[in-house]
Amino acid sequence: MLNQQLDRVYAALADGSRRTMVDRLTRGPATVKQLAEPLTMSLPAVLQHLRVLEESGLVRSEKVGRVRTCRLEPAALQQAEQWIADRRAGWVHRLDRLEEFLNENEGESS
Amino acid sequence: MLNQQLDRVYAALADGSRRTMVDRLTRGPATVKQLAEPLTMSLPAVLQHLRVLEESGLVRSEKVGRVRTCRLEPAALQQAEQWIADRRAGWVHRLDRLEEFLNENEGESS
DNA sequence: CTGTTGGTTAAGCACCTACTTAACTATTCG
DNA sequence: CGAATAGTTAAGTAGGTGCTTAACCAACAG
């Protein structure tokens, strides 16, 4: 459940165009046109990226009149950050263990 | 350059099996066999996941005798964490501005 | 030397992804 | 109204991903 959501968030971030879109949205809401502007691809392609971002939960959008306005959903971003932070924390804790010292110095005599 | 590396790190993390492998490696180095143990797939499949992890820079491995030992490369993990942290920081800054706006216009209508 | 363990390579297959173009809808402007 | 704007849908295509099985090699263990 949560695992699949993490899959989608990381998969969404694994594309430069989508990261550009996310980056733009950190500076405030934007229309589809505005999100497309810095990208060198057709509008339908942008729509498909947007769909990936929405399905990952990173972005939410709402249509008013003929304009769709997109905004960031920081909870999903935080979830992805947290997973990494937790693992890095575990790794740091391991650094304190004697076992590593022993492994690194195994058979070192001269 | 760096962008492609980020692509690869996020793509590597976008798979539950690979995250399981990374998680295992936060508890110390492991052989291919050990990484494969909790996963319900063939050894060649695990090798392919390992290759993705190595190409992303998240994992480094070394073969001694017939045993390949893998360990985490936390720099890549930190890079991925940092990208998100930077964007979240930008978003938080924007929130402050919104809050400011709301405060300035407090009680202005009913 | 022989068998077992740990890993590796190759080939094949079922999806999935990131685009494209063409055609279309719905809103707003003059 | 009619044209321009903003977005959407559909269909096709090239290439990538995540597995599988079969066959294989290299390093120990007995």
CB of B42 under 7 A from strand D? Answer: yes
Is position A109 within any domain?
no
Q: How confident is the model at residue A87 (pLDDT cuts 50, 70, 90)?
A: very high
Question: pLDDT 10s digit of each residue in chain B, 110 long?
Answer: 568 899 999 999 999 999 999 999 999 999 999 999 999 999 999 999 999 999 999 999 999 999 999 999 999 999 999 999 999 877 766 655 555 555 545 544 43
Count of domains forming chain B: 1
Q: How confident is the model at residue A110 (pLDDT cuts 50, 70, 90)?
A: very low
Specify the nucleotide whose C1' lies closest to residue A65 (CA).
Answer: C27
Is position B11 within any domain?
yes
Domain span at residue A83 reads 2-104
* Angstroms from B74 CA to nearest CA on chain A: 7
Q: Which of A82, A83, A62, A80 is nearest to A71 (CA)?
A: A62
Measured CA to CA, the distance from residue A58 to residue B77 in angstroms comes to 20
Is position A41 within any domain?
yes
Considering only the beta carbons, identify the residue of A14, A28, A94 that sits closest to B10.
Answer: A14
* Angstroms from B76 CA to nearest CA on chain A: 10
Q: Does A22 touch chain B (CB under 8 A)?
A: yes
Is position B110 within any domain?
no
